[in-house]
Chain A
Amino acid sequence: MEFLHFVRRALVAQFNGPPPRDEFVRHALDAGVGSLPLLTLLTIFAGMNLSVQAYGTFVRFGGQDLLGLFCGVGGIRELYPVMAAVICGARIGATLAASLANMQISEQVEALEVMAVDPMRLLVAPRLWAVTLMLPLLCGYADVVGLAASYWAATEQMGVNGGTFMEQVRDIVHLGDLAAGVFKGVVFGWLVAIVSCYHGYRALKRDGAEGVGVATNRAIVHSAVLCIVLNMFLSALLYVR
Chain B
Amino acid sequence: MAEQQPAITLEKVCKSFGPNRVLHEVSLTLPAGKIMVMLGPSGTGKSVLLRCLVGLMKPDSGRIFIEGQDITGLDERRSAGREQMFALRRKFGMLFQDGALFDDMCVGDNVAFPLRQHAKLSEREIAARVAEDLERVGLKNAQRKMPAELSGGMRKRVAFARAIALRPKIVLCDEPSSGLDPVMSATLDELILDLHRTLGMTFVVISHDTAEARKIADYVGLLYKGELQAFGLKDEVLRSNQRAINQFFERSTEGPIQVL
A interface residue numbers (CB < 8 A to B) = 99, 102-103, 106-108, 110-111, 113-118
Q: How close is B96's CB to chain A, nearest CB, in angstroms?
A: 5
Task: Check A106/B94 contact, CB under 8 A, given A114-B54, A115-B117, A116-B86.
Answer: no
State in angstroms the CA–CA spacing of A6 and B126 once bound together. Answer: 34
Give the number of residues in B that approach A within 8 Å (Cβ atoms).
21
With a cutoff of 8 Å between Cβ atoms, the chain A residues found around residue B113 in the complex are: 115
Q: Does B101 contact A (CB under 8 A)?
A: yes
Q: Is the CB of B56 within 8 A of A114?
A: yes
With a cutoff of 8 Å between Cβ atoms, the chain A residues found around residue B103 in the complex are: 102, 106, 108
Q: Is the CB of B100 within 8 A of A113?
A: no
Q: Is the CB of B100 within 8 A of A107?
A: yes
Q: How close is B98's CB to chain A, nearest CB, in angstroms?
A: 6
Q: Does B200 contact A (CB under 8 A)?
A: no
Chain A-chain B contacts (Cβ-Cβ < 8 Å), number: 43
State in angstroms the CA–CA spacing of A111 and B162 once bound together. Answer: 10
With a cutoff of 8 Å between Cβ atoms, the chain A residues found around residue B65 in the complex are: none
Q: Does B92 contact A (CB under 8 A)?
A: yes
State in angstroms the CA–CA spacing of A108 and B90 once bound together. Answer: 17
State in angstroms the CA–CA spacing of A115 and B116 once bound together. Answer: 11
Nearest first, the 10 closest Cβ-Cβ pairs linking A and B are A107-B100, A111-B100, A116-B86, A116-B89, A114-B94, A116-B90, A115-B114, A114-B54, A107-B96, A117-B117
With a cutoff of 8 Å between Cβ atoms, the chain A residues found around residue B82 in the complex are: 118
Pull 19 A–B residue pairs with CB atoms less than 8 Å apart, ordered by A.
A99-B104, A102-B103, A103-B102, A106-B98, A106-B100, A106-B103, A107-B96, A108-B100, A108-B101, A108-B102, A110-B56, A110-B96, A111-B100, A113-B56, A114-B92, A114-B94, A115-B113, A115-B118, A118-B86
State in angstroms the CA–CA spacing of A152 and B129 once bound together. Answer: 61
Task: Check A114/B98 contact, CB under 8 A, given A106-B103, A108-B103.
Answer: no
Q: From B98, B104, B118, give the contact of A116 (CB < 8 A).
A: B118
State in angstroms the CA–CA spacing of A102 and B148 once bound together. Answer: 13
The residue of chain B having its C-beta at the shortest distance from the C-beta of A12 within the complex is: B79
The residue of chain A having its C-beta at the shortest distance from the C-beta of B85 within the complex is: A116
State in angstroms the CA–CA spacing of A71 and B56 once bound together. Answer: 55
Q: Is the CB of B101 within 8 A of A114?
A: no
State in angstroms the CA–CA spacing of A113 and B54 once bound together. Answer: 9
With a cutoff of 8 Å between Cβ atoms, the chain B residues found around residue A108 in the complex are: 100-103
The residue of chain B having its C-beta at the shortest distance from the C-beta of A109 within the complex is: B100
Q: How close is A5's CB to chain B, nearest CB, in angstroms?
A: 8
With a cutoff of 8 Å between Cβ atoms, the chain A residues found around residue B87 in the complex are: 116
The residue of chain A having its C-beta at the shortest distance from the C-beta of B56 within the complex is: A110
Q: How close is A17's CB to chain B, nearest CB, in angstroms?
A: 14
0/1 per residue, B92-132, Cβ < 8 Å to A?
A: 10101010111110000000011001100000000000000
With a cutoff of 8 Å between Cβ atoms, the chain B residues found around residue A115 in the complex are: 89, 113-114, 117-118
With a cutoff of 8 Å between Cβ atoms, the chain B residues found around residue A110 in the complex are: 51, 56, 96, 100
Q: Is the CB of B94 within 8 A of A111?
A: yes
Q: Is the CB of B89 within 8 A of A114?
A: yes
The residue of chain A having its C-beta at the shortest distance from the C-beta of B57 within the complex is: A110
Query: A108-B103, A115-B118 are known contacts; what are 4 more A-B pairs with Cβ within 8 Å?
Result: A110-B51, A116-B87, A116-B117, A118-B82
State in angstroms the CA–CA spacing of A108 and B98 once bound together. Answer: 10
With a cutoff of 8 Å between Cβ atoms, the chain B residues found around residue A99 in the complex are: 104
0/1 per residue, B159-184, Cβ < 8 Å to A?
A: 00000000000000000000000000
Q: How close is B154's CB to chain A, nearest CB, in angstroms?
A: 16
Q: How close is B46's CB to chain A, nearest CB, in angstroms?
A: 15
